[in-house]
Structure 1
Amino acid sequence: MSPPRAALEQALDRGEREGGSVEFKERLSKDTHLSEGRRESLAAQLRHRVLSGDGEATYVLGVTDDGGIAGVAPDVFSETMDVLSLLAEEAECHIDEVQTWGVPVEETSPELDGSMDAAEVPDPRRGHVSSGDVDADRGLVGLATVREGAILETDDEHIVVGTAGHVDHGKSTLVGTLLTGQADDGEGGTRSYLDVQPHEVERGLSADLSYGVYGFDDDGPVRMDNPDRKTDRARIVEEADRLVSFVDTVGHEPWLRTTIRGLVGQKLDYGLLTVAADDGPTRTTREHLGVLLATDLPTMVAITKTDLVSEERLEEAEREIERLLRDADRTPLLVRRHGVEAAIEEIDETVVPIVGTSAVTMEGITVLDELFEHLPKTGGGAAADPFRMYVDRTYSVTGVGAVASGTITSGTVESGDELLLGPMPDGSFREVEVRSIEMHYHRVDRARAGRIVGIALKGVEEREIDRGMALLPRDAEPTPTREFEAEVMVLNHPTRIDAGYEPVVHLETLSEAAAIYPEDGPLLPGDTGRARLRFKFQPYLVQEGQRFVFREGSSKGVGTVLDAAPEE
């Protein structure tokens, strides 16, 4: 018996009784249950249930007063959750977790049989995740956990770190050790916390972006006991005074496009490049470093697997990395020579600290902890600017609907905000409303620039949302861009870039083929010049000052948007 079904059976067995913490509701509607007088009564009832459960109540939704399984249509369940959320807010409580099951609508027995399917809960480390459509002859039953206390405000310090590095250089293993404080077994065991697809676990190779979080309070690091439990990640968000979110990219060369998306589209504060001590810098190392430095991201280098090499080999690896950085016009700073305080003070777009680490012996972990605890936030726009978020991933959650996730570029978003989503393929923008917000599985009432969040949206279906779309305030007047002017610099190309050259442009979270038309003739490697770029398939939201990377095969370049609406 799966834990979710066991939880539902337990709630039904406990039953709805006076002085208990379980409440049965078949459905809640805005017109009926939020009317004058009724709302206050239901909020008081909810508060009573929470206090009776020592700060936690269980609401079983889609069941009759006697515990009979009724099941309600998805849109009815969605409205029920909206009403319950408002009642919880009025009672100074919040909904902490929701689980749903699909049931035949004609089922009325409280007994659960094999026909009940647990709906899949979205994992922000995955790509498109669908809980499955509920057929017309199936309804929903849900279990909502309501806890005392208002929804968390996220005004604590929060930095976002993007990792990069060659495959097998211990990138994900190092992050797993930082998240848990656990030493690795020498076989990459801690990296399993970041691999979520079966083939990733089996092959030991990441194939998509992964996310992790740990934090700090007055007593030091706040780590996860088990990152596989979403409640453990939520606990970090709730308890820590300062948060460090990791966007763990892909080291395998065929997935460089995914790595670029992670480093360009997530509004990172810092880059963390891993180089294995026994292998040294590789072609992929140089490729990833080029992307990090081309976007002016303050970066540090972690030399991993120091437990596998002698002191002589470690010093040789340090020299190799120092040469690599100097060749890129950067200043290396060996932390073991100059100290952590110097690294914190000096790190910027030109100075790159280098730290020796081992996930097996835990060497360098406390050094990275100290860096992440004290480094200032650098990325993301100001919270006072208008809200903007580019969509990176989408989900469909039974009973909730469409969820768009990404990193907030600027401004602040709150539950209930009315937004625009787009542009759609035809250039239009869709009016949507924020149903709820989650950050690392913890439900929050508001979130501001630099946060990685999932936003549940009313007014749109998940299949209509694409990566690269943007969320904006309802009163914004966005202009979709098919063609824009930019200053581009060619980093590498076998010959020259002529008019009509068509690489893939990586801007924010979008990756789209675009034709380049240099204004002053062909561009050679190392050249910088103005050019017009035209997206091949559809318009996107582009604004002046945005940085982007373009790539095709071994060719690579960077650019800055100068004019998002050039005259014809």
Structure 2
Amino acid sequence: MSPDRAALERAIERGEREGGSVEFKERLTKDLHLADGRRESLAAQLRHRVLSGDGEATYVVGVTDDGALAGIAPEAFTESMDVLSLLAEEADAHIENVETWGVDADGRAKPKGGTQPGDAGSAAASPDSDYEPPESDAPAEGIVGVAIVREGAVLEDDEHIVVGTAGHVDHGKSTLVGTLVTGQPDDGEGGTRSYLDVQPHEVERGLSADLSYGVYGFDDDGPVRMDNPDRKSDRARVVEEADRLVSFVDTVGHEPWLRTTIRGLVGQKLDYGLLTVAADDGPTKTTREHLGILLATDLPTMVVITKADIVSDERLAEVEREVERQLREVDKTPLSVARHGVGAAVEEIDDTVVPVLATSAVTMEGMDTLDELLERLPKTAGPTDDEFTMYVDRSYKVTGVGAVASGTIRSGRVEAGDELLLGPMQDGGFREVEVRSIEMHYHRVDRAKAGRIVGIALKGVREADVERGMALLPRDADPDPVREFEAEVMVLNHPTRIGEGYEPVVHLETVSEAAAFYPDDGRLLPGDSGTARVRFKFRPYLVEEGQRFVFREGQSKGVGKVTDVRPDE
């Protein structure tokens, strides 16, 4: 028996029997299985299966009543998962994981959607993976899938913060996050960062080249961490068990990838920033740039001094003083957590007060303090009562599901089945789409709200047409994308002066686009603040007054705030 189809074989061998936890369904349809009376009956059946399995049931979809592989069309399988999700919700349960296989003309199952629980083959792909499942070698006539249904409603979003990390290369960002999410001390060689770096060349070189994600949480007994970080389903377990979650958007420290770092800090809806400074190296030019980006976006930020185990107490104190001096130079007030305590840090952290603490991922010095700080920090990002908005950060295709858009929900709420608008497209128009399913850190949920990092499977659009910088909005919204807007800008660094027609790359939400600047006074010098008209070079985007952005070109960098999206009116 191939290990790729082991889960399917086991479910069929266990069989559908009275008092058992396995249920066979050829397909489920909204018209038939959600009709009056039928819905309640099927929800009761699901509840019985879950209770029979001590809190877990297995639904095999795409098979006949006797367990023969029938296979159903991808669209029918997607509809079946949507119906099963609604039935689970009514039974106070949720879909934890879905695995899929293609069924060829001879009724043989071949892996079609991945084999690890919760990977990109489940009903919606995770936002922290660019994986696209392989196609079957033989022509597939349909899909068969195994869905694991667990007792308990989907996780609510009230206790969840998102933290964006920044810092110079080799200053221990990814290692720190890897140690936090696992509770495992580092080996002194950055071993725990491998739990976040997803590309082989990143692991080999020890350098992150793209955004990566991590998650851990807390319950009444303390931290809830990943037991096996290499098993993606472990993230789903953390999401399910924790009462409070901390998600990390781990950015890139290497200077050539500053654009990716800006995307992580500006394009995600973060609650807090975390800047790492290595005790042996101290603050660097990159440290100052990342600090400037964090603070220019008014993001409450903490500074964590890493590698405290490899320097003397005198050197550690020297680096702390240097960090505090740099914070004061940009009109921020440092707050030593060692001197004032976690309570003061939680109470005072804002866009002007910056807590500072020292840690070691090797000796675990200061890690308990950082745990306590992250557990107690309040949620800040995203009005949940506003209309739903999410800017797309990534997109990918999942076999049997289709296009998946991932990002951080900026405001409002979204549910499976919602009808949305996606755009703007190249011509400035928006396309109507439907939410097939939602997934967060490999954990399928039926709904999510502001601040969640999610992958949303969309019906009505090809993956090739979904691009970073687009937005998802309610279907009844009346979006008006723009090519041009007016902004207050401040030049952080530039070798000469910024004149009319200057073309840096503007990073606004998840938009990264070349734009021409036209200063009102004709020019802006380094350190200057002023107003300018900004025009995207290639296409319109959804831009709103009050949004902050970063612009850069070579060594030139600056920040801005949108003041008028209709400057000609």
SS of structure 2 residue aligned to 1:129: coil
For 2:277, give the aligned amino acid.
V
Q: What is residue 253 of structure 2 aligned with on the other side? A: 251
Specify the SS of the correspondent of 2:355.
Answer: strand
Matched residue, 1:45? 45
Structure-to-structure mapping, 1:399-438, within 5 angstroms: 399-438=400-439
Rounded to whole Å, the distance in 2 between the matches of 1:237 and 1:116 is 26
| CA-CA distance at 1:483 after TM superposition | 0.8
Contact 1:154 1:444 in 2 (8 A): no
Classify 1:31/1:267 alpha carbon distance in 2 versus 1 (closer, same or farther; 3 Å). closer
Contact 2:394 2:468 in 1 (8 A): yes
Alpha-carbon distance, 1:13 to partner: 1.6
SS in 1 for 2:96: strand
Instruction: Pick closer, same or farther for the CA change 1:206–1:3 going to 2, 3 Å.
Output: farther
Q: Greater shift after overlay, 59-68 or 115-124?
A: 115-124
Amino acid at match of 1:119: G
Q: 1:383-462 to 2 correspondence within 5 Å?
A: 383-462=384-463
Does structure 2 conserve the Cα–Cα contact (< 8 Å) formed by 1:275 and 1:301?
yes
- 1:218 corresponds to: 220
Q: How does 1:33-432 map to 2 (within 5 A)?
A: 33-104=33-104, 106-108=105-107, 115-119=110-114, 121-122=119-120, 124=126, 126=128, 128-132=130-134, 137-155=140-158, 157-380=159-382, 382-432=383-433
Question: Does 513-522 or 78-87 show the bigger shift?
Answer: 78-87
Give me the identity figure in percent.
78
Contact 2:186 2:361 in 1 (8 A): yes
Deviation of 1:354 after TM superposition, in Å, equals 1.5
The residue identity in structure 2 corresponding to 1:8 is L
CA contact (8 A) 1:390 1:409 kept: yes
In structure 2, the CA distance between the partners of 1:35 and 1:271, relative to structure 1 (3 Å rule), is closer
Name stretches of at least 5 consecutive residues in structure 2 with no aligned partner.
none
Equivalent runs, 1:518-533 vs 2, <5 Å: 518-533=519-534
One-letter identity of the residue aligned with 1:82? D
**Alignment partners' CA distance in 1, 2:181 and 2:111:** 36
Amino acid at match of 2:69: I
In the alignment of these two chains, the number of paired residues is 561
The 5 Å alignment of 1:463-474 reads 463-474=464-475
**Deviation of 1:407 (Å):** 1.1
Contact 1:505 1:511 in 2 (8 A): yes
The alignment's C-alpha RMSD in Å is 2.0
Could you tell me whether the CA contact under 8 Å between 2:485 and 2:565 is conserved in 1?
A: yes
Change (3 A) 1:168 1:71: same
Q: Distance in 1 between matches of 2:325 and 2:39?
A: 68
Preserved contact between residue 85 and residue 446 of structure 2 (Cα < 8 Å): no
Deviations 1:458-488 (A, max 9, x none): 2222221111111111111110111111111
Instruction: Note if contact 2:89-2:153 (Cα within 8 Å) is conserved in structure 1.
Output: yes
Q: Distance in 2 between matches of 1:144 and 1:427?
A: 39
List structure 1 segments (4+ residues) > 6 angstroms apart after TM superposition: none
Q: Output the CA distance in 2 between the equivalents of 1:41 and 1:331.
A: 61
How far is the alpha carbon of 1:12 from its aligned partner? 1.7
The 3-state SS of whatever aligns with 1:130 is: coil
Select between 34-43 and 159-168 the one with higher mean Cα deviation: 34-43
The worse-fitting range, judged by mean Cα deviation, of 365-374 and 332-341 is 332-341
Q: TM-score with structure 1 length normalisation?
A: 0.94
| Kept after mapping to 2: 8 A contact 1:102/1:119 | no
Q: In the TM superposition, what whole-angstrom CA distance separates every residue of 1:510-529 from its partner, at most 9, and x where no partner exists?
A: 11111111122111111111
C-alpha distance 152-323 of structure 1, shift in aligned 2 (>3 A): closer
In the TM superposition, residue 447 of structure 1 has moved relative to its aligned partner by: 1.6
Q: Distance in 2 between matches of 1:349 and 1:30?
A: 48
For 2:19 and 2:218, locate their aligned partners in 1 and report how far apart those are by CA, in whole Å. Answer: 39
Once the two structures are superposed, what CA deviation does each residue of 1:338-374 show, in whole Å capped at 9, x if it has no partner? Answer: 3333322322222222211100111111111121122
**1:390 shift after superposition:** 0.7
Which residue does 1:31 correspond to in 2? 31
SS, match of residue 550 in structure 1: strand
**Once structures 1 and 2 are overlaid, which stretch shifts more, 47-56 or 202-211?**
47-56
* Partner SS, residue 214 of structure 1: strand
Amino acid of the structure 1 residue aligned with 2:86: L
Q: Deviations over 1:32-83 (max 9, x none)?
A: 4334444444333333322322222211122222222222221121122222
Is 1:4–1:118's contact at 8 Å kept on the other side of the alignment? Answer: no
Q: For the residues of structure 2 that align with 1:340 and 1:147, how far apart are their CA atoms?
A: 37
Q: Distance in 2 between matches of 1:98 and 1:17?
A: 21
Cα distance per residue 1:86-125 (max 9 Å; x no partner): 3333333322210011231x1236xx5xx54553732636
8 Å Cα contact 1:27/1:77 also seen in 2: yes
Structure-1 separation of matches of 2:66 and 2:346: 61
Which residue number corresponds to residue 560 of structure 1? 561
Which sits farther off after the overlay, 443-452 or 256-265? Answer: 443-452
Deviation at 1:16, TM superposition (A): 2.2
Q: CA deviation at 1:250?
A: 0.7
Q: Cα distance 1:373–1:394, how it changes in 2: closer, same or farther (>3 A)? A: same
Shift of 1:127: 5.3
The answer for the alignment partner of 2:480 in structure 1 is 479
> For residues 150-186 of structure 1, what are the alpha-carbon distances to aligned partners after superposition, in whole Å with 9 as ceiling and x for unaligned?
333323x222111111111111111111112111111
User: C-alpha separation between the residues in 2 aligned to 1:198 and 1:280?
Assistant: 29
**8 Å CA contact retained: 2:61, 2:145:** yes
Structure 1 residue 192 displacement after superposition = 1.1
Letter aligned with residue 526 of structure 1: G
SS of 2:238's equivalent? helix
The answer as to whether partners of 1:4 and 1:99 remain within 8 angstroms in 2 is: no
Instruction: Assess if the C-alpha contact under 8 Å between 2:95 and 2:445 holds in 1.
Output: no
- Structure 2 CA distance, aligned partners of 1:205 and 1:354? 25
1: CA distance between counterparts of 2:139 and 2:185?
A: 50
